[in-house]
Amino acid sequence: MLITRIQGCFKSDKIFYSGHARYEMEEEELGEILDQEVREAVLTGEVIESYPNDVPYPSCLIHGQTKRGRPIHSVCAYSESERLTLVITAYEPAPEK
């Protein structure tokens, strides 16, 4: 299961943030998103959309919450050959979602 592999990477610090993810996290209109917040949200999160045919790696949209209750959406891909998770983007969803 993809979420299990992604969560395993977060537990062992085998994560790479894309430039796009860094930009979106820093410029989040509801306040900067920290790496620790992404980690907390992914580790407690669930997959709400799957993209198994994404290239070069399958990915998914994960919804989770930080310890303080902040909702975070993260799109993460997993490289089987490198056993590495790539964070493609992370953002705080609009409250109505």
Residue 14: give its domain's CATH number. Answer: 3.30.2310
Count of domains in the chain? 1
What pLDDT shows up at residue 3? 96
Q: What is the pLDDT of residues 11-20, one digit of tens each?
A: 999 999 999 9
Q: Is residue 96 part of a domain?
A: no
Q: Establish if 97 belongs to a structural domain.
A: no
Residue 67: what pLDDT?
A: 97
Q: What is the pLDDT of residue 94?
A: 85
On whether residue 47 sits in a domain, the answer given is yes
Give the pLDDT of residue 95: 77
Residue 97: per-residue pLDDT? 56
Query: With 0-12 CB in 10 A as exposed, 13-18 as middle and 19+ as buried, what is 89?
Result: middle
Instruction: Report CA-CA distances (Å) from 66 to 25, 34, 37, 40, 54.
Output: 14, 10, 6, 5, 27
Residues in the chain with pLDDT values less than 70: 96-97
Q: How far apart are CA 87 and CA 78, in angstroms?
A: 9
List the domain range (segments joined by +) for residue 52.
Answer: 2-91
- DSSP class of residue 80 equals T
